Amino acid sequence: MGRKINIWTNVDWLTVLVCLIMLFIGWISIYSAVYDDAHQSIFDTSQRYGKQLIWIIAAIFIAAAVLMTDTKLFLFFSYFFYAFTILLLVAVLFFGTEVNASKSWFQLAGVQIQPAEFAKLATALALAQFLSTTKLKMHDAKNLFITATIIFLPVLLILLQPDVGSSIVFFAFILVLYREGLTGYVIFFMILFGILSLLALLMNEINMIALLVFTSFAAWIIVGRSRKLSVRSGLIFLVVSSIVMTIYRIFSPQTPIDVQLIVAAVAGGSMLLIISLLYRIRHAPIVAGFMIAALLYTWSVDYVFDNVLMPHQRSRINIVLGFDDDPRGQSYNINQSKIAIGSGGLTGKGFLQGTQTKFNFVPEQSTDFIFCTIGEEWGFVGSLLVLGLFVFLLLRLIFLAERQRSPFARIYGYGVIAVLFIHVAINIGMTIGVVPVIGIPLPFISYGGSSIWAFTIMLFIFLKFDAGRMEYIK
């Protein structure tokens, strides 16, 4: 057994300090955002800033309580806690209060509880527990399956509420898997498909298909050894595609031209796939397979965009892509948010001097759009400070995670990092108009007890592990 170590001297006070600074920035920004003549005291608990202060103080007590809890508790109860959260997520679908057409909240004795907030914590714990027992054999099919289940079960349940914003957060856990040995291809393909989706929405289909076929051929010629074979394969591709196109022309000319082209290209590509398999050309099956997958994916992006997404989700994406420019319509939020941040200039207008973030020009200014107030009143300098704090916090947490001796603590630490990071990226990306509007809070800064407490508990469980890392001997 390890030595007993005084927890208070071993806590990473630097992280605690950064966290406190963020809470303070959030508090005064909320004060500024909802400030009016009638309620001038920053301690007025009838107003949001007063309530935020109460929640901050409560969060400090919660943090202290977490630090005094034995870490074994988290280890032993991580699966139980996960199961309990899943139960809550199921229950909220039946007994939840419906707000804005989604059932995300429990209303219990005047207290609102959002199970999705706890699900992030529970998933991080369960994931850490499971991965720390696999002894790095992540690519074992059974392990992969269980890992995916742990992550995507809550996603599925949260999508049923439906709450797209919260469910997206869980995709960040892939970062954790990557750290624990998941092949880099997963992240590579995620980025690739992200770019492909963007291009598919931005570009006209025919150009897109031409581009894909062209790049695939370029890749084909590079990986294929024999020029002769490449030229022949190209001819085969053209012949097969032409035959498919001719069949369309004769039998079904009313089929949209992009569908015709995609089917033709996929048919040609499949032919190439068969040839490359027969001739055993190295890498060629991968290129051909990739081309087919990319074509089908391109088509499905448009299909999903036009047929599956809700109109408001479509228009949010359109706004980010710059297709919609209607300053009074759906892009109103983004536009007002950008005006607020942009009008801040280099040094900002000064504390309480912001004009855009008041009077409802910016919606949700104390919750999801709190970064507008910071950008407006403190300018680029203020934005830089807040982003700098987040970068510092995240890098510091990576450092802390890496110095853990127990795989559980390290994996859990990366879980915290992933969740914090995706919140920051989506929230700030949204306020400056590079990410569609997804309503999730900025950690430690946005108004709201649930969000502050959830992030505090998550972070301080990790700090507790970190403080006690010397105890762990196995």
| Minimum distance, C-beta of residue 219 to another protein, in the bound complex (Å) | 24
- 344 is an interface residue for another protein by CB under 8 A: yes
**Which residues touch 378 (CB under 8 Å, ≥6 apart)?**
344, 347, 348, 351, 385
CA distance 48 to 56: 12
| Minimum distance, C-beta of residue 415 to another protein, in the bound complex (Å) | 12
| Minimum distance, C-beta of residue 429 to another protein, in the bound complex (Å) | 7
Instruction: Point out which residues pair with 113 in neighbouring strands.
Output: 106
| Minimum distance, C-beta of residue 399 to another protein, in the bound complex (Å) | 8
CA distance 413 to 397: 7
DSSP letter string, 367-396? TTTHHHHHHHHHHHHHHHHHHHHHHHHHHH
Q: Which stretch binds another protein (CB under 8 A): 2-10, 86-94, 175-183, 457-465?
A: 175-183
Quote the tokens at residue 241: 């595609």
- Cα 359 to its chain centre, rounded Å, is 30
The sheet with strand 97-99 has its strands ordered as 97-99, 102-108, 111-113
Quote the tokens at residue 151: 């992550």
- 354 is an interface residue for another protein by CB under 8 A: yes
- 306 is an interface residue for another protein by CB under 8 A: no
| Whether the Cβ atoms of residue 62 and residue 452 lie closer than 8 Å to each other | no
| Whether the Cβ atoms of residue 412 and residue 121 lie closer than 8 Å to each other | no
- 375 is an interface residue for another protein by CB under 8 A: yes
Sites for another protein among residues 182-211 (CB under 8 A)? 187
**Which residues touch 33 (CB under 8 Å, ≥6 apart)?**
354, 357, 358, 365, 366, 370, 373
Contact pick of 120, 314, 316, 358 for another protein (by CB under 8 A)? 358
**Which residues touch 69 (CB under 8 Å, ≥6 apart)?**
464
Contact pick of 5, 87, 90, 136 for another protein (by CB under 8 A)? 136
Contact pick of 3, 37, 227, 311 for another protein (by CB under 8 A)? 37
- 340 is an interface residue for another protein by CB under 8 A: yes
DSSP letter string, 37-61? TTB--TT-TTSHHHHHHHHHHHHHH
E strands along 335-468, which residues? Answer: none
| Minimum distance, C-beta of residue 162 to another protein, in the bound complex (Å) | 23
| Minimum distance, C-beta of residue 187 to another protein, in the bound complex (Å) | 8
Q: Which stretch binds another protein (CB under 8 A): 10-18, 239-247, 296-304, 343-351?
A: 343-351
Q: Which stretch binds another protein (CB under 8 A): 63-71, 79-87, 157-165, 354-362?
A: 354-362
* Per-residue x/- track, 388-427, another protein (CB under 8 A): --xx--xx--x--xx-------x---x--x---x--xx--
- 356 is an interface residue for another protein by CB under 8 A: yes
- 352 is an interface residue for another protein by CB under 8 A: yes
Pick the closer one to another protein by CB: 233 or 356.
356
Pick the closer one to another protein by CB: 209 or 372.
372
Pick the closer one to another protein by CB: 223 or 432.
432
CA distance 157 to 118: 13
Amino acid in position 424 = V
φ, ψ dihedrals at 207, nearest 5° = -60, -40
Contact pick of 48, 120, 179, 464 for another protein (by CB under 8 A)? 179
* Per-residue x/- track, 39-78, another protein (CB under 8 A): ----------------------------------------
Quote the tokens at residue 247: 């069949």
Q: Which stretch binds another protein (CB under 8 A): 32-40, 49-57, 317-325, 445-453?
A: 32-40
- 99 is an interface residue for another protein by CB under 8 A: no
Burial class (CB in 10 A: 0-12, 13-18, 19+), 60: middle
Residues in touch with another protein (CB under 8 A): 35-38, 136, 175, 178-181, 187, 338-346, 352-356, 358-361, 375, 379-380, 383-384, 387, 390-391, 394-395, 398, 401-402, 410, 414, 417, 421, 424-425, 428-429, 432, 434
